[in-house]
A and B are shown apart, each in its own frame.
Chain A
């Protein structure tokens, strides 16, 4: 399988990359690790005229602590994220998500920025970044803007990024004491993408669930928060029964996909099962001894 021909550019800075994207409009496409884009190009499902390779922009490759947030450069690979001590200490659920993407080779090349911008409905990160209420930093010709992840994913393979905007950074909260998260997925046995993946991030206070965020990927055309589950459990004292009850509405409002890897009905059912398991794990990690 061979991609169609394209022009290839290697801007030497983010500014230059954004300027080029702005000039190119529809003709340009960003290449980061390439592990979402290149397979599509080889199948000729994507035929960009110009690839703007940001893979050499070292400025996007760092993980930084920035106040109460971690700033993760768009070019941080899944493997790098999975092994990063800072991420492990402050936002382990993100490292754990990175560690179950694809396979070892894919994790070495694929980047978090590329994965988020590609917005594959079966990608793993979206569930976790939704549950973390992370923010995406995008740079366009007019400068940088911060997009809450809740507003970032806008449909199948589509995001709030403008064609001339580059996703440069993901900002996630540092999960302090009393908080915990978990991401659980059912991998598609062929591609390792998520048939269903659910992330939960919980904070406990005074023996109650003070805050709970649940993100779901794989089930529908775009990743979503399971807000009904969150609302049912926030303020409650954590119990297996309460969690199980609340998780029953995990798929509410999701128009589940049907394909060879799972019917809509099965995806919905697994969303409920994985939501329960992820919430239990997150609350357990947040420090509830009962779970």
Chain B
């Protein structure tokens, strides 16, 4: 039986009827047409499908879309504004942090999570921070350089989960009339963290 889910992706709210087994990555790619997020390994090793869910990076091939109901998701498409690449994207470009580009969106989102938590990591921390992401092309060194480039040029504001996240969730909760209590419970729970 299909279920209704509402997910805010890169600031835009989407409500869809989905099969419960629909993976979040397929919801983003096939349902919403946001194909920047990729499927690499299917078993949660490679990280090509990495997105941020409520500000925390996750592997969207190992989540069902229904689990993201009410959540705010940021994908690679949501990082750059029209005028400006995100400093991480700039770092990847400047330092040749990609070749075929397939792992890159997930890699960039993983770096987003890494630098959000640790804005100035050393090389060991960067390499360990990429344990959930596989790149078959670069040998990682230029990716490490890209992260260092980003760390020299970024600001805290670059990691603000979209300004509308909490407001969006609240709006959403109101819109759903709190009938299930799910959204409110979820946010209350998250708030304790």
Contact = CB atoms under 8 A, between A and B. Distances in A.
B45 A191 contact: yes
A290 interface: no
Interface of B is mostly: mixed
A24 B57 CA distance: 33
Interface string B152-193: 000000000000000000000000000011100110111011
Contacts of B186: 56, 58
Contacts of A51: 20
A4 B20 CA distance: 10
Interface stretch (A36-44, A174-182, A252-260, A271-279): A36-44
Interface stretch (A7-15, A129-137, A218-226, A228-236): A7-15
A245 interface: no
Interface in A178-216: 190-192
A112 interface: no
B102 interface: no
Interface in A33-77: 34-35, 38-39, 41-43, 51, 53, 55-62, 75
Contact of B58 (A62, A105, A190): A105
Contacts of B99: none
Contacts of B59: 105-106, 109
A57 B182 CA distance: 8
Interface in B39-94: 42-45, 47, 50, 53, 56-59, 61-64, 66-67
B30 to A, nearest CB: 12
Contacts of A25: none
B119 interface: no
Contact of A2 (B3, B20, B21, B114): B21
B185 A103 contact: no
A108 B57 contact: yes
A169 to B, nearest CB: 14
A80 B64 CA distance: 21
A147 interface: no
A58 B64 CA distance: 19
Looking at A58, A59, A190, which has the most chain B CB atoms within 10 Å of its CB? A58
A28 B49 CA distance: 28
A60 B66 CA distance: 19
Contact of A38 (B57, B62, B133): B62
A108 B20 contact: no
Contacts of A35: 44, 62
B11 interface: no
Contacts of B19: 5
B129 interface: yes
Given A62-B192, A109-B63, A5 B185 contact: no
Given A42-B42, A61-B192, A104-B113, A12 B182 contact: yes
Contacts of A157: none
Contacts of B113: 104-105, 108
A103 B131 contact: yes
A269 interface: no
B129 A104 contact: yes
Interface string A80-118: 100000000000000000000011111011000000000
A34 B110 CA distance: 19
A34 to B, nearest CB: 6
A1 interface: yes
B47 to A, nearest CB: 6
A105 B106 CA distance: 11
Nearest to B132: A103
A53 B66 contact: yes
A61 B110 contact: no
Contact of A192 (B56, B57, B114, B131): B131
Contacts of A102: 132
Given A8-B66, A104-B132, A39 B192 contact: no
Contacts of B181: 12
Interface string B9-39: 0000000000111010000000000000000
B1 interface: yes
A31 to B, nearest CB: 8
Contacts of B64: 8, 34, 38
A6 B63 CA distance: 14
8 contacts: A2-B21, A7-B20, A10-B182, A53-B66, A80-B193, A103-B132, A105-B110, A109-B58
